[in-house]
Amino acid sequence: MGIVNRGKLSGWLDISQSVSGVVLAIFLWTHLILVSSILLGAEAMTWVAKTMELSFLTADGHGYPWVVTIMAMVIAVIALVHVLVAAHKMPLNLRQQKALKQQLNVVNHGDTRLWVWQAATGIVIFLTLPVHLWLIGAAPETIGPYGSADRIWLQGVWLLYLPLLLCVELHAAIGMYRVAIKWGAARDLNSRSRLKKIKSIISVIFILVGIASLLAFLPYANA
């Protein structure tokens, strides 16, 4: 009975990890697309920011900045769930870490190395994402071409955003690839190879869009 219960628990943890990971990846890519509106100019991003604050529901168009705070809190909860359920597969003790290192030295398994990259980027995200969510959630009214530009460039937050961008894009793309493999989307080697190429293309595209968006804020800093 104990083995059955552990098996059910492990199954639920796997499902929770996959579902929370997919939700976070979709949110991440949607969020980056919305932020990249700065590439179209200040007016485009202002419209996006105000729409996210439900400005169309208020007579004066001011909206409800606290909606963004609620969204940040929801994402924080989902991310916490994802971290907690993912932790049960992490090599947390020295013996597990040694076994993983030996396996990587003996068997050159691409998917295992992707998992290592996912775990490493996950640690960076775990340390940096809460800061990002706090900055956004604590001052949602500053989100826009000028407030965001001041935060990113004048306050030096780009030092946080750049590594976070790189890690979340790699982590999300690898995670979506592994979810597809885990739940049977690719059962043969050719399908896995195609998925890996798609994963790499997605990572490159979103990283380039993210970096371009960060640079696009620069002219609005202290404007």
The single-letter code of the amino acid at 114 is: L
Judged against a pLDDT cut of 80, whether residue 8 lies above it is answered with no
Q: What is the pLDDT confidence band of residue 111, given thresholds at 50, 70 and 90?
A: confident
What is the radius of gyration, based on Cα positions, of the chain? 20
Would you state the structure tokens that stand for residue 184, as one six-digit string? 């049977």
Residues whose CB is less than 8 angstroms from the CB of residue 117 and which lie 6 or more positions away in sequence, other chains included: 170, 174
DSSP per position, 25-80: HHHHHHHHHHHGGGGG-HHHHHHHHHHHTTGGGSTTS---THHHHHHHHHHHHHHH
DSSP per position, 79-127: HHHHHHHHGGGS--SHHHHHHHHHHHHH---HHHHHHHHHHHHHHHHHH
Would you state the structure tokens that stand for residue 73, as one six-digit string? 């809190």
By percentage, how much of the chain surpasses pLDDT 90? Answer: 60
Residue 1: its pLDDT value, please? 46
CA dist., res. 25 & res. 223, Å (int): 33
CA dist., res. 209 & res. 165, Å (int): 10
Each residue of 37-82: pLDDT tens digit? 999 999 999 999 999 999 988 888 888 999 999 999 999 999 999 9
Judged against a pLDDT cut of 60, whether residue 203 lies above it is answered with yes
User: Considering only 48-57, 129-138, 178-187, which range has the smallest mean pLDDT?
Assistant: 178-187
The residue among 65, 74, 44 whose CA lies nearest residue 57 is 65
- Give the CB-side neighbour count of residue 100, counting CA atoms within 13 A: 17
CA dist., res. 141 & res. 161, Å (int): 19
pTM: 0.86
- Give the CB-side neighbour count of residue 156, counting CA atoms within 13 A: 0
